[in-house]
Amino acid sequence: MEKIVLLGGGGHAKVLIDLINACGSYEIAGIVDAQLDVGVSVSGVTVLGDDRILSELYEKGLINACIAVGSVGDNSKRKALYEKVKNAGFLVPALIHPSAVISGKSHIREGAQIMAGAIVQTDSIIGENTIVNTGAIVEHDCTVGKHVHICPGAALSGGCLIGEGAFIGAGATVLQGIKIGSNSIVSAGAVVINDVPDNAKVIGVPAK
Ligand code: JB3
């Protein structure tokens, strides 16, 4: 079984450890995380060191990486880590929980993370390094860009366009055909009925 290293050893990492173990597709070699002591166990996975050891791991043949740092509002850290490991030659496989429902006509790009109970419907695209978190719904014909976070329980109706780096908060709803600009934030529980420009933040019902 191929090995994979996780970047980050916090709450998001624990969810991913559970996902990877449920999939049985990779053996988790360990975690790199500067804030955790070497040898500490996170959900049974050992901390190996910090990001400085990634090149050494790669040279030893560990070529798969997982961006296990989550995001709350700002996806730039995830984007930076993804680009860093890609530039170092790592593969960043898409990870899909076995309980997720993924249409055979959807497209899940490299590094995307589809958590337990999530649904991705037909003809939708999930961009590189994007999280579709627990129980989130991406309806038909959506295009979700790179480095996006669709938080737990959020729902995108049909035909939505989500820009790179956008953050769709927990339980938010985006109506049919709505465009959410890049790096914008839709707050938890918001109901979006109009397009949102780049770098904006909207809250409430209806979202403003
Ligand atoms: O809301 C949900 C369902 N999950 C949240 C997730 C999406 O984001 C979760 O509740 C948290 O809000 C957050 O999870 P995350 O990122 O695991 O948060 P935290 O528990 O703070 O752990 C982040 C870990 O990443 C810390 O141990 C940091 O030291 C580590 N970290 C930060 N920057 C890094 C880096 N690790 C590496 N390897 N490299 C970094 O640059």
pLDDT tens digit string along 68-78? 999 988 999 99
How far apart CA 116 and CA 184 sit, in angstroms, is 25
How far apart CA 121 and CA 72 sit, in angstroms, is 25
Name the residue at shortest CA distance from atom 30 of ligand 1.
8
- pLDDT over 90 (residue 178): yes
Task: Tell me the percentage of the chain whose pLDDT exceeds 70.
Answer: 100
Q: How far is the CA of 157 from the centre of ligand 1 (A)?
A: 28
Among 32, 65, 63, 61, which Cα is nearest to 49's? Answer: 32
Ligand 1 pocket mutation, candidates 15, 31, 33, criterion most atoms within 8 A of CB: 33
Q: If 0-12 CB within 10 Å is exposed, 13-18 middle and 19+ buried, where does residue 113 land?
A: buried
| Mean residue pLDDT across the chain | 98
Could you check whether the bond before residue 206 is cis, i.e. omega within 30 degrees of 0?
A: yes
Indicate the pTM of the whole model: 0.98
The set of protein residues with a Cβ atom below 6 angstroms from ligand 1 is 7-13, 32-36, 51, 69-72, 77, 81, 133, 152
Instruction: Specify whether 12 is catalytic.
Output: no
Q: Give the mean model confidence (pLDDT) for residues 52-63.
A: 97
Atom of ligand 1 nearest to the CA of 51: 38
Q: Under a CB-based contact definition with an 8 Å cutoff, are residues 189 and 172 in contact?
A: yes
Q: Give the mean model confidence (pLDDT) for residues 19-31.
A: 97
Q: How far is the CA of 7 from the centre of ligand 1 (A)?
A: 9
Q: How far is the CA of 167 from the centre of ligand 1 (A)?
A: 15
Note the pLDDT tens digit of each residue in 130-172: 999 999 999 999 999 999 999 999 999 999 999 999 999 999 9
Residue 172 Cα to chain centre, angstroms: 17
